[in-house]
A = this chain, B = another copy of it.
Amino acid sequence: MTSHDPVPEIPVTTAAGVCAAAGFTAAGVEAGFKKSGGADLALVVNTGPEFAAAAQFTSNRVAAAPVHWSREVVRQGTARAVVLNSGGANACTGPEGFQNAHATAELVAQGLDIGAGDVLVCSTGLIGEQLPMDVVRRGVPDAVAALAGGQAAGRAAAEAIMTTDTVPKQACVRAGGWSVGGMAKGAGMLAPGLATMLVVLTTDAVLAPDALDAALREACRVTFNRTDSDGCMSTNDTVVLMSSGASGRTPGQGEFTRALTAVCHSLAQQLITDAEGASHDIAITTVGAATETEAEDVSRTVARSNLLKTAVFGNDPNWGRVLSAVGTTQARFDPDRIDVTINGVTVCRNGCIGDPRENVDLAASRAVDIEIDLKTGEQRATVWTNDLTHDYVEENSAYSS
């Protein structure tokens, strides 16, 4: 986390995940969705006493069946469980796909003796194939039977949602008597065909649904929503937050939002770092913007430039490609005043050549910090991405065959 980062400096540990907060049990089992084998069904259950919940979903208008289902469930502001499968996205599957998402929730509800309307469903995998319901019927009871609290159970759940992820992603913050935990999956830029980002966040703080929702929106806005590995938005992206209230403590809204943001930031950074095909993690920070929205727009546009991303792969601090991308935005700036600084070297000053690009040694570090100073106002925003590599092309051209 660099000094210009708006994310709060709160200690985050990655040893525990969704079970870090009191009042949650979890499980991860091998149901049989993945042809390659391995755990592929996760369950996270809120054991109460409170059941407040909030969620953020993909803004892709071609949304998967489980997204449609979960959107309805969370509308009431509560949820008791979330079931997640890897090995099949249940997207572009029509009415049958929606029925299958519903049936999955019913099976979980039967196992837990709750209502199906309290069960969120998440899926990730190949688009356009129906979920194998025999696998669901076999796997859900196994997952219910395996439910437990503690770090091992949380980790089992985090492992069961992995697709091309190489490591499970967990994070937690322990505050004064209450905690926030979470797990995530998403393979960064490596295989974004199924780079659905699924995140389950838990807390034992006592918070009303509205408070949870507001905190989740703000945390996502500056973390997951600014993580842009290849500009391709999934049909399945879901971030769920559940509160058990088991700590009996009610933190201030700002205090809770900061802790939640820290957990989300850690998970987002883990997603970026697990892009094994990528050779560089790139943080693009625009400063001196008239508004934060314009700063974010500039950073995101640069983050989506294939030309810049291939240049970074080639360890080339190519500021001309940064400026070319900036020039396509509608942000307010004077092209003759822009500075571009790459890993501390201002290679472009006032829109022209600056300090020698030879002073930047991109081959020496995985982290690449690009700062763009528009010199227009006071606002800033960072977007995180990866370089564009041969492995990206390889993984994504070979994926579904």
Instruction: Give the interface of A toward B (CB within 8 A).
Output: 59-63, 89, 91-94, 126-129, 192-193, 230-235, 304-307, 310-311, 313-316, 318-321, 323-329, 333, 335-336, 338, 348, 350-353, 388-390, 392-394, 396-401
Identical chains in the assembly? 2
Contact assessment for B320 and A127 in the assembled complex, using a CB-CB cutoff below 8 Å: yes
Closest to A389 in B: B393
Task: From B305, B311, B319, B327, give the contact of A397 (CB < 8 A).
Answer: B311
Contact assessment for B351 and A307 in the assembled complex, using a CB-CB cutoff below 8 Å: no
- On whether A401 and B316 interact (CB within 8 A), knowing A232-B306, A393-B390, the answer reads yes
Q: Give CA–CA (A351, B311) in the complex, Å.
A: 37
B residues less than 8 Å from A59 (CB atoms): 328
- On whether A305 and B94 interact (CB within 8 A), knowing A61-B335, A397-B310, A399-B314, the answer reads no
B residues less than 8 Å from A304 (CB atoms): 231
B residues less than 8 Å from A325 (CB atoms): 232
State the Cβ distance, A367 to closest chain B Cβ, in Å. 18
B residues less than 8 Å from A93 (CB atoms): 352
Q: Could you tell me the dominant secondary structure of chain A's interface residues? A: loop
Closest to A314 in B: B397
Q: Give CA–CA (A367, B202) in the complex, Å.
A: 50
State the Cβ distance, A378 to closest chain B Cβ, in Å. 21
Contact assessment for A319 and B128 in the assembled complex, using a CB-CB cutoff below 8 Å: yes
- On whether A327 and B399 interact (CB within 8 A), knowing A193-B307, A306-B230, the answer reads no
State the Cβ distance, A305 to closest chain B Cβ, in Å. 6
B residues less than 8 Å from A353 (CB atoms): 92, 128-129
Task: From B91, B318, B320, B397, give the contact of A313 (CB < 8 A).
Answer: B397
B residues less than 8 Å from A388 (CB atoms): 306, 393
Q: Give CA–CA (A60, B126) in the complex, Å.
A: 37
Among A60, A126, A320, A321, the one with the most B-chain Cβ atoms within 10 Å of its Cβ is: A320
Task: From B319, B324, B348, B390, give the contact of A233 (CB < 8 A).
Answer: B324
Known: A314-B396, A314-B401. 6 other contacts (CB 8 A): A61-B333, A62-B323, A62-B327, A94-B350, A232-B321, A316-B401
- On whether A323 and B233 interact (CB within 8 A), knowing A94-B336, A388-B393, the answer reads no
Closest to A93 in B: B352
B residues less than 8 Å from A126 (CB atoms): 320
Contact assessment for B399 and A311 in the assembled complex, using a CB-CB cutoff below 8 Å: yes
B residues less than 8 Å from A329 (CB atoms): 61
Contact assessment for A310 and B392 in the assembled complex, using a CB-CB cutoff below 8 Å: yes
Task: From B313, B352, B392, B396, give the contact of A92 (CB < 8 A).
Answer: B352
Closest to A321 in B: B193
